[in-house]
Structure 1
C-alpha cells in the first residue's frame, strides 16, 4: 500500500517530512489539506488531536507530528541515509538541534505570522516583540555553532536540517537574519541549494500570496 502524507505544500512543518521523503527516495501520495479537499480536511481532524498537519498513513498505521514521521520513515521506508543517526550520541545531537529549530526559530516565527492573521483589535504587540527577541537570541546562539559547519549536526544532513530548512526559510522572511551572522546566513543558503529543500520551496511557490506579511521577492 502506498504511503500517504496529509498536509499543505506551504506549511512549514509539512516541509520537514517532505524533505526526508525526498532525501530517502520514498514513494508516497500527497493528500492536500485545504477547503478544496474537504475529505482530506475531515481525515486530518480525525488523525491529529488539534487537526494540524502533517500526518502519515501507512496501511493501518497513523503517525502524526513531523519528527515522529521522519523517524518512522527511517525505520520502515526508504533507501537513503537515515535522518536520525544510528549512533546514540549523534542521534542525541541531531534531535537536540531539531528541537532548537522547532522551538526557538519555528515557534516564534509562527507566533509573528499568526498575529498578522488576527483582526486589528486582537493583535498582541508584546507577544510579537517577545517572539522577535527570541529569534534574535536564537540567531546569536546558532551563529558560532554553524559558522564552521556544513550541516547542523553530526557532519551530515540529518533531521536537524529537515527542521532548520523551513524554520530559517520563513523566519528570515518575518525577522531577517542580521548581516553580522554570516555563518547562519551561509547555512540557510546551503539548505536552500540542496535538491530536496529546493524541491519543497518550488512546490510551495504557487502559494506565496497566502503569506500574511507579504512574501519577499527572493528565495
Structure 2
C-alpha cells in the first residue's frame, strides 16, 4: 500500500481527511494513534514533531504530509479520483480554499476551544466562543440559501471541512431552529456515503467525547 494515514477515529480534523479518501475510494493503510500512549506519541512525533494528526505518509514518494487541507490537495494532485476536491478554475479553487479555512478557523476553532477547556479544566470565555459560532452559523445559513454544496453544485474540500466541524459544533451550540438552510445542508452532509462511513467508524469512540450526551441518538 502506497499510503498510510496516522489518525484517530474520534478526531474531527481526521474526519476531514477520511471523507476525502472515502469520496474517491483511495486505498490506504490505517495507523490509529492514541496520544495517551507514550509509544504512539513518540511514533507520531518522529514523523511530525508538532505531534498533531492526521499525517499522511506516502511510501512511494517518500514524503510525510501533515495538515488536513494540504493532505487533501496532495491527494487531489497525486492520487486523484472521480471527485475532484479542488476545482481546476483558479477563482473557484480560491472560493473552496476560503470556505475550507472558514470551517477550520471559525467553526472548528471555537468548538475545539470549548472542548479543550472542558477536558483540561482551563478557563475560556465560552460566551465569546459561542458568539463566534453564532456568527458562523448565520453566514452559512445565508450562503446555503442558493446552493447545494458549500461552493456550488460539486462536493469539495470545503464540504470535507464542513461535515466534522458542524457535527461537533452542534454538540456545543445547536443550530438555531429558524436556520433551515443550514440544517438542510447538514442533512445533506451526513447523508453523504463518505461522511456516513466516517461517523459509523467513530461510534465506538464517541463515549470518549466530553459532550457525548449531546450527540443525537441517530448517530450512536
TM-score, normalised to structure 1, is 0.93
* Distance apart, 1:118 and its partner CA: 1.9
Q: Tell whether the 8 Å contact from 1:109 to 1:171 is kept in structure 2 after alignment.
A: yes
1:6–1:40 Cα contact (<8 Å) kept = no
Give 1:33's aligned residue: 33
Asked whether the equivalents of residues 94 and 158 of structure 1 are also in contact (C-alpha less than 8 Å), the reply is yes
Give unmatched runs, 5+ long, in structure 1. none
State the match for 2:55 in structure 1.
Answer: 55
| Cα shift at 1:123 | 2.7
Q: Which one of 150, 171, 174 corresponds to residue 172 of structure 2?
A: 174
1:97 alignment partner in structure 2:
99
How do 1:63-78 residues align onto structure 2 when only pairs under 5 Å count?
63-78=65-80
Q: Secondary structure at the match of 2:174?
A: coil
Preserved CA contact (<8 Å) 1:93 1:154: no
Distance 1:13 1:213 in 2: 17
**Residues 116, 212 of structure 1: 8 Å contact kept:** yes
Question: What is the match of residue 156 of structure 1?
Answer: 154
CA RMSD of aligned residues (A): 1.5
1-structure distance, mates of 2:58, 2:93: 24
Deviations 1:116-140 (A, max 9, x none): 1123xx333xx21111000001111
- 1:9 is matched with which residue? 9
Q: Deviations over 1:91-139 (max 9, x none)?
A: 01111111111110011011111111123xx333xx2111100000111
- Secondary structure of residue in 2 paired with 1:147: helix
- Return 5+ residue gaps in structure 2 as ranges: none
What secondary structure sits across from 2:196 in the alignment? helix
Aligned counterparts of 2:49 and 2:70: Cα–Cα separation in 1: 15
CA distance in 1, matches of 2:186, 2:140: 11
Once the two structures are superposed, residues 21-58 of structure 1 have per-residue CA deviations (whole angstroms, 9 ceiling, x without a partner) of 11111100010001687544322112234211000000
**Offset from partner CA, 1:150-189 (integer Å, 9 cap, x none):** 1000321000000000000000111101011110011011
Q: What is residue 201 of structure 2 aligned with on the other side?
A: 203
Q: TM-score, normalised by structure 2?
A: 0.93
Describe the shift of the 1:108–1:83 C-alpha distance in structure 2 as closer, same or farther (beyond 3 A). Answer: same
**Alignment-derived partner of residue 183 in structure 1:** 181
